[in-house]
Homo-oligomer: A and B are copies of this chain.
């Protein structure tokens, strides 16, 4: 009953790397929370929680994948249900000093929950039907675009400018790039499932769903936290 990872299974590889990277990142953020200035401690804690929560779910997901070879859809969305709203909390905390109200937080959470609920329906209940996959994926994208818009041109972007702190402005700008490029990897994964455009159109295998999701998770969860860490470190100097 030992962990046996086939050498030719990139998905198992990323599940295990992802697990360990999340755990290590979480320990890192917990420790460094003690070194940053008081006003950044809360953001650091949220970063640690995001990667910590992911570490637990990756622990289950990699074992599930290794045992069954299947996509752990439910576990994946259980993880996102918790970590994506926490990322919205990060945006809120960073812009709070510029006067962000809780209404902003709720709008971001609402949009991202909409994105996840519709995405889940698409993944869990489409049964490989192309129309269903496309319909729910498109709906989901509306929620995604709302968060994206907010980070680039909407409330988050405006508030970031108002902070007058160049480190925060640059940091939020970087987070915007994460939402634009990093988050965009998820829909690519989604379209690899049976009935998805990349699956039916280009013949990409459905096992790639997890490959893309794992890579995207590592980039976004750990990267997001590192950006926040960077803001905390540099803004301290100023």
Q: B-contacting residues of A (Cβ < 8 Å)?
A: 2-9, 12-13, 16-17, 20-21, 23-24, 27-28, 30-33, 35, 38, 41-42, 45, 49, 52-53, 56-57, 60, 63-64, 67-68, 72-75, 77-79, 81-82, 120, 123-125
| Contacts A2-B63, A5-B78 supplied; 20 other A-B pairs, CB < 8 Å | A2-B67, A2-B68, A3-B63, A3-B75, A4-B64, A7-B123, A7-B124, A8-B125, A12-B74, A13-B77, A13-B78, A16-B74, A16-B75, A17-B81, A17-B82, A21-B82, A24-B52, A28-B49, A32-B45, A35-B42
A63 CB, nearest partner CB in chain B, Å: 5
A9 — which chain B residues lie within 8 A by C-beta?
Answer: 74
Complex: A42 Cα to B56 Cα, angstroms: 25
Q: Is the CB of A8 within 8 A of B64?
A: no
Complex: A156 Cα to B20 Cα, angstroms: 28
